[in-house]
Amino acid sequence: MYLNPNKSILRKMLTSSMVTVLLGLCAVGLVISLFAKDYIVNSKSNEMIRQAKQVNLAIQDQTDPSDRFKEQLRFFDQAFDSRIWIFDLKGNIVTTSSKDEVNVGKVISADVINGVLSGEPAVWNQSEGFKEGMLSVAVPWGKDNDVYGGIVLHSPLKGMNETIAQLRETILWVTLLGIFFSFGVSSYFSWSITRPIQQIDKAAAKIAIGDYSERIQIDSKDEIGELATTINHMVEQIARVDLEKRQLNQMRHDFLANVSHELRTPLTAMRGFLEALQDGLIEEGARDRYYEILYNETLHMNRLVDDITDLMKLENKEIDLMWVAVDVQAMLSKLAFKFQPEAELRGTFIHCYEDDNSPQAHADPDRLEQILNNLIKNAVKFTENGTIELKAMAIPSEECVLITVTDTGIGISPEDQGLIWERFFKVERGRPVKHKGSSGLGLAIVRELVELHNGSIRVRSELGIGSAFEVRIPLYESRPYVQPVVSLASVG
């Protein structure tokens, strides 16, 4: 999945950048070269026209090519480094600045004659009569409105061509340097873009095989940096979802294993007892005891199925609460009365504290009773020769009713206190066999029901000292308090 060097973005970006820069520099160089040539020629032409006009000022009072006239032409020839021709109105060359008069008598082009006689300067390239090409200009020769002919200045094109060639050479070197510079810049920027893309590709390859530990380390604040940050967040979400999925699968596996175990144990015992009864291996006087065991095992299985059903309904949000005002004090008194006989068999006393203003909770009475029933049942089960205290009080500042179930039983270890709310978790370590046998679903159901009431529950416990479960349920404040139906301040 890693990037192929032959098809990498780096190569494409580098190639496209270099081609673009190369074409751009060539185009700019060509344009500059062409414009520079025209500029040089135009500048030289204007300069020669000014020089020709200066020659005219010097000879405008002379109409015949005398020796003094020729001396002046030779002076301007040397001063301007230009050959000078003088022609008459018919275009015939009457004299030149050269000592050899080889061009005297020749005729100037008719277009040049017509332009000059109309008062306009003329510019052209002259090669006839010279060993090399010349840039030529012509201006009228005369004074005021009197025109005697024309003045022609010739300047070698060689110097201008050399200047243009040097300019083109300079442009070429600048182009080459620009190519090298652009290559370096393009390489750096291409690398700065493709390097994080390669990191992203590497991370994506690991994600594809289920490895979510890879993170993209990119410090840039541009779009690629934002993309890397987004991908990192996405990987974290995927890792979290994958972890939750594995945990869910493990929970499902544990759930099925625990359910199978919880059902297999009583079923195995019942099968053994039934086979013994069926084969007549049990004496007549002992059969009642076996029937009682079978009956208790069916009750255990029934409770297990009911607990599983309740838990599934709670987790699937299939339970609707009937919200009413519940007299918590009366409910605690009723439950204390219910569990007192079982507690007395263990040498335990249940104390239910009354409040003059019996607090009322905003709750479903059946589900609240189920919560308290589970907590008190556990307290009775794990407390021998001790006490159990039941207390309810309103906390207006928190808008809740605080219900406390405190016992002096065997307690819960610190490492187990965070696990007791899990399904099928049983605090078995260090407990006598007679304390074992619960399904491990009671406190899981309690927590779900409390949270369904928008409440909270917590436990405080020490091994060998006891436990205290604190339940907070929303306070009902829309009606006055009522006296509890059952009042058991102290039972036993």
Tell me, what CATH number does 395's domain have? Answer: 3.30.565.10
CATH number, domain at 25?
A: 3.30.450.20
In terms of domains, do 335 and 455 share one? yes
Confirm whether 4 is domain-assigned.
Answer: no
Q: How many CA atoms lie within 13 A of 247 on its CB side?
A: 7
Q: Are residues 247 and 356 in the same domain?
A: no
CA distance from start to end of the chain: 77
Same domain membership, residue 478 and residue 332: yes
Q: Report strand pairing: 400-407 vs 387-395.
A: antiparallel
Q: Is the pLDDT of residue 483 over 60?
A: no
Indicate the residue among 284, 315, 346 that finishes a domain.
Answer: 315
Please report how many Cα atoms fall inside a 13 Å half-sphere around the Cα of residue 78, on the Cβ side.
6
Q: Which of 147, 162, 177 is the last residue of a domain?
A: 162
In which band, very low, low, confident or very high, does the pLDDT at 61 lie, cut at 50, 70 and 90?
Answer: confident
Question: In this predicted structure, what is the pLDDT of residue 488?
Answer: 35
Where is average pLDDT lowest: 14-18, 353-357, 372-376?
A: 14-18
Task: Provide the domain count of the chain.
Answer: 3
Mean pLDDT over 433-443 rounds to 59
| More confident: 470 or 218 | 470
In the chain, the percentage of residues whose pLDDT exceeds 90 is 22
Domain shared by 285 and 333, yes or no:
no
Task: Give the DSSP H/E element, type plus range, for residue 20.
Answer: helix 9-59
243 has pLDDT over 70: yes
- The Cα–Cα gap between 113 and 129 comes to 18
233's tokens: 């967040």
DSSP conformational letter for 154: E
Give pLDDT, residue 36. 74
305 plus 378 within the same structural domain? no
pLDDT of 427 higher than 90? no
Q: pLDDT digits over 175-187, tens only?
A: 788 778 877 777 7
Cβ atoms of residues 467 and 485 within 8 Å = no
* Same-domain check for residues 274 and 351: no
Q: Give pTM, 2 decimals.
A: 0.46
Q: Are residues 290 and 373 in the same domain?
A: no
457 pLDDT band, cuts 50/70/90, is: very high
- What is the secondary structure of 87-146 as a DSSP string? EETTSBEEEESSSS-TTTT-B--HHHHHHHHTT--EEEEE-TTSSS-EEEEEEEEEETTE
Please report the pLDDT score of residue 2 as a whole number.
46
pLDDT of 74 > 60? The answer is yes
Q: Name which residue leads in pLDDT, 70 or 483.
A: 70
Q: Which secondary structure element, helix H or strand E, spans residue 404, and what is its range? A: strand 400-407
Is residue 328 domain-shared with residue 471, that is, in the same domain? yes
Q: 413: domain range?
A: 324-491
> Taking residues 52-61, what's their average pLDDT?
90
Assess whether 286 and 341 both reside in one domain. no
Q: Pick from 273, 298, 315: which residue ends a domain? A: 315
378, 483: one domain = yes
- Residue 71 is assigned to a structural domain of this protein: yes
Considering the domain architecture, whether residues 435 and 387 belong to the same structural domain is answered as yes
- Write down the pLDDT at residue 178: 77
Separation between Cα atoms, residue 83 and residue 247, nearest integer Å: 102
CATH number at residue 247: 1.10.287.130
Please give the helix or strand (H or E) that residue 462 lies within, else none: strand 456-462
CB 48 within 8 A of CB 137: yes
CA distance to 311, 312, 313, 374, 437, per residue, from 255 (Å): 12, 11, 15, 21, 17
Residues with Cβ within 8 Å of residue 168, at least 6 apart in sequence = 29, 33
Q: Which of 165-174, 318-327, 330-339, 367-376 has the lowest mean pLDDT?
A: 165-174
Residue 429: pLDDT band (50, 70, 90) is: very low
Whether the pLDDT of residue 401 is over 90: the answer is yes
Structural domain contains residue 243: yes
pLDDT of residue 276: 81
Domain membership flag for residue 196: no
Same domain, 259 and 350: no
| 402's tokens | 């605080």
**H-helix or E-strand containing 344?**
helix 328-345
pLDDT of residue 430: 43
> Is position 440 within any domain?
yes
Residue 479 inside a domain? The answer is yes
Tokens standing for residue 464: 């060998």
pLDDT at 42 over 70: yes
